[in-house]
Amino acid sequence: MTRRTVLGALAGLALAAAISPASAARGPAAGAPLKVVASFSILGDMVREIGGENVALTTLVGANGDVHSFEPSPQDAKALSQAEVLVLNGLDFEGWLPRLVQSSGFKGRQILASKGIAVRRLSADEVAGGDSHGRDRDGHDHDDPGHGHHHAVGDVDPHAWQDLRNGKIYAQNIADGLAQADPPRGGYYKMRAKLYIDKMSKLDAEIRSALADIPANRRVVITSHDAFGYFAQAYGIRFIAVAGLSSEAEPSASELAAIVDRARKEHVAGVFIESGTNSRLVKQLARETGIKMGGTLYSDALAPADAPAASYLGMFSWNAGRLIYVLTR
């Protein structure tokens, strides 16, 4: 498969991702839509794809939003108080959510989208020195969920959706939860989830095929913050992160110098900005090392409507396409 063919296939999948997985299938006309709140845009898109016209969706942290710095508003509390279902990532990603649940008086069903995934733990070395500044993200699978919002030693990487195999688990968990909350339309949710999961499987296979001919020692890039650990372990790309797990983290001068030194020694293919993060440091790295900028990647939030990365599958296809282009040029 040529690079042009691969990139064309990924672009096609990005376009297909914007189309409802079951556009020809309509849910029952009777009954009011299920009121659902999703914690952030990626989960909101999954709920929309699976729930279709049978959910009335509110997403708390929208497109281009930063979950790490989010401050819930009174309107958010009101929306949650009126909801029947709350869909959350868990893994201590939404540190503000327990307080919001309590203050809103929400008593509905909670769907933990990450339930059952192989959780990725941070080692002591990764956490030391400010959440692994300048360390690789090529990770290992673990199954202990851990605790603590501040990413202490032994804590978990919450960005599990960055592996399409986990995305399929998310989708199934959401479908099962919606079906339990709304049994008459349970079959509808599960049917849409199956078609959605099939799209994830197809995209996953395309990405693996595109990366198969790229030598491992050439699969090295620099990113703004440490959100691609699951992507790294799934697809064999090493990400050197400028900042830690939080988009608000920032390396010291000595840590930044160490990243510059390492980038000069290794074959770093490109430097990427992450949507919603400060691009100043990564642009500085590109200038000091002479490494080309690779564009924007999406990690914690989707792009605004009508952009290629405005859906979960669109985001994944966009990220993979940008990475593959840089790694093969």
**Whole-angstrom distance, CA of residue 224 vs CA of residue 245:** 10
**Whole-angstrom distance, CA of residue 183 vs CA of residue 172:** 15
Say yes or no to pLDDT of 32 above 80: yes
**Which ranges of 182-311 does DSSP label H, i.e. alpha helix?**
186-211, 229-235, 253-265, 280-289
Mean pLDDT of 262-282: 82
pLDDT in tens, 214-260: 998 889 999 887 889 999 999 999 998 886 544 445 667 777 778 88
**Whole-angstrom distance, CA of residue 231 vs CA of residue 215:** 17
Say yes or no to pLDDT of 66 above 50: yes
Task: Tell me which of 3.30.200.20, 3.40.50.300, 3.40.50.1980, 3.30.450.20 is the CATH number of domain 215-328.
Answer: 3.40.50.1980
**Whole-angstrom distance, CA of residue 6 vs CA of residue 311:** 20
Structure tokens, 3: 């690079």
Cβ pair 121, 144 in contact under 8 A? yes
Higher per-residue confidence, 8 vs 256: 256
**pTM for this entry:** 0.83
Structure tokens, 67: 């979950």
The pLDDT value recorded for residue 283 is: 83
Structure tokens, 320: 């993979």
**Whole-angstrom distance, CA of residue 300 vs CA of residue 247:** 9
The pLDDT value recorded for residue 265 is: 80
> Please, what sign has the CA dihedral across residues 209, 214, 219, 224?
negative
In the CATH scheme, what is the homologous superfamily, with its name and number, of domain 3-124+140-204? Nitrogenase molybdenum iron protein domain (3.40.50.1980)
**Which ranges of 105-252 does DSSP label H, i.e. alpha helix?**
124-131, 164-181, 186-211, 229-235
Higher per-residue confidence, 42 vs 6: 42
Domain with CATH 3.40.50.1980 in the chain: 3-124+140-204, 215-328
Distance of CA 200 to the CA centre of its chain: 14
**Which ranges of 58-114 does DSSP label H, i.e. alpha helix?**
74-81, 97-104
